[in-house]
Amino acid sequence: MSTALTKNFEPATIEEKWYRHWMDKGYFNSTPDERPAFTIVIPPPNVTGVLHMGHTLNETVQDVLIRKARMSGFNACWVPGSDHASIATEAKVVQMLEKEKGISKHQLSREDFLKYAFEWKEKYGGIIYHQIKRLGCSVDWNRVTFTMDDHYYEAVIKVFVDLYNKGFIYRGARMINWDPQAKTALSDEEVEYKDVQGKMYYVKYRVIGDGSQMSEVGSKNSEVGSQKSDVRSKNESEGLDDDAKNYIVIATQRPETIMGDTAVCVNPNDERYYHLKGKKIIVPLVNREVPVIFDEYVDPAFGTGALKVTPAHDINDYNLGLKHNLPIIDTLNEDGTLSAEAEVFVGMDRFEARKAAIKKLEEDGLLVKVE
């Protein structure tokens, strides 16, 4: 007796039937034997949600490879699992608790929070495993591993300690991405970049000592090529020659970081600033005396051609600080408020501190203009 084929392919019925058959027969189970081994450990998807198209692509490629190896006589083993993705998962669990239960993370003990986190893992980890099955992936379900399983965790710690003892892992101060809400470091992959319309604040920094040579720079620049003349003309149009004998003007997008400045940097080939060699500068708001340094990193055509160096704030400034042995003044607390190191606006949120810094610079007559 023949059965007529349906007009349209019905994947739900066909795929479920055959995957269940494969599972019942144990076709994908792997036990070490005399055959050469061929093993893939699935890059564990995060338990923060469900699979996306990228996972589908990866799982398809791996399934093709493992099935080809299995058919070629290898003892093929494809290990499934999921990743705790602690930072992202914590954010999801915190959102869930606040939205669904009205509970703040800070109201819970570590043990209670972990209980909710593992409930989340069971829910979304189960969804992910179901999706892997629906894709028809030929994984060995007897080997499912979660990255916070005891044996897995112990193996990670063992390797970590071993690498540390061998000198391959060390602890040092580095510039990182910091989340002031979760109070944790973030990898570059967890940072979302976007272009925004910003403002450039032109601020006067007082030069210590006789600045009379500044007046000679203008005439010297007028004698050089048209490119440098254009730079000078641009600066004059921006009002940068105002009080030129006593001040150098610096353009910055973040005046709230001024309190962490430990140097002012200019390009050694920028003739406008030759007279500043060996000079000191007074940092506004905190009246700190810092040196003028010279480095080709600075673009003479950007802003005023003079850069405030804040090693604790920006990766490029940090590298300049290392190169020129500058002190590092971290003006921020873990929650994004200003620390005691800032000296002013202490305890104020960084964005509020920006407003306060702008106001104070205006009151002190140090804010030339805003673009």
- Chain length of the chain: 371
What's the pLDDT score for residue 230? 47
What's the pLDDT score for residue 207? 95
Q: Which domains does the chain have, with CATH numbers?
A: 11-171 (3.40.50.620), 201-370 (3.90.740.10)
Contact between 313 and 283 under an 8 Å Cβ cutoff? The reply is: no
Distance CA 281, CA 237 (A): 24
Q: What are phi and psi of 273, to 5 degrees?
A: -115, 15
Contact between 321 and 328 under an 8 Å Cβ cutoff? The reply is: yes
Report helix, strand or coil for 250: strand
Give the residues across from 249 on adjacent strands.
204
Contact between 362 and 278 under an 8 Å Cβ cutoff? The reply is: no
Give the residues across from 282 on adjacent strands.
206, 289
What's the pLDDT score for residue 1? 56
Alpha helices in 212-370 (DSSP H): 214-222, 226-237, 315-323, 350-363
Q: What are phi and psi of 266, to 5 degrees?
A: -135, 160
Helices 110-134 and 86-96: angle between axes, nearest 10 degrees: 110
Distance CA 351, CA 183 (A): 17
Q: Cα dihedral angle (264, 269, 272, 275), rounded to 10 degrees?
A: 70
**In terms of C-beta distances under 8 Å and separation of at least 24 residues, what long-range contacts does 108-113 make, across chains too?**
none
Distance CA 243, CA 87 (A): 50
What's the pLDDT score for residue 2? 61
What's the pLDDT score for residue 244? 60
What's the pLDDT score for residue 246? 87
What's the pLDDT score for residue 270? 95
Contact between 264 and 326 under an 8 Å Cβ cutoff? The reply is: no
Block means of pLDDT (10 residues each) for the chain, 371 residues, are 75 89 95 96 86 93 97 97 86 90 90 90 86 95 93 94 96 86 85 91 89 39 40 44 74 96 96 93 96 96 94 92 95 96 97 97 96 94
Amino acid letter, residue 98: E
Q: What are phi and psi of 201, to 5 degrees?
A: -105, 125
Q: What is the pTM of this model?
A: 0.68
Instruction: Tell which phi-psi region holds residue 167, choosing left (phi > 0), alpha (psi between -120 and 50) or beta.
Output: left
What's the pLDDT score for residue 243? 57
Report helix, strand or coil for 21: helix
Report helix, strand or coil for 218: helix
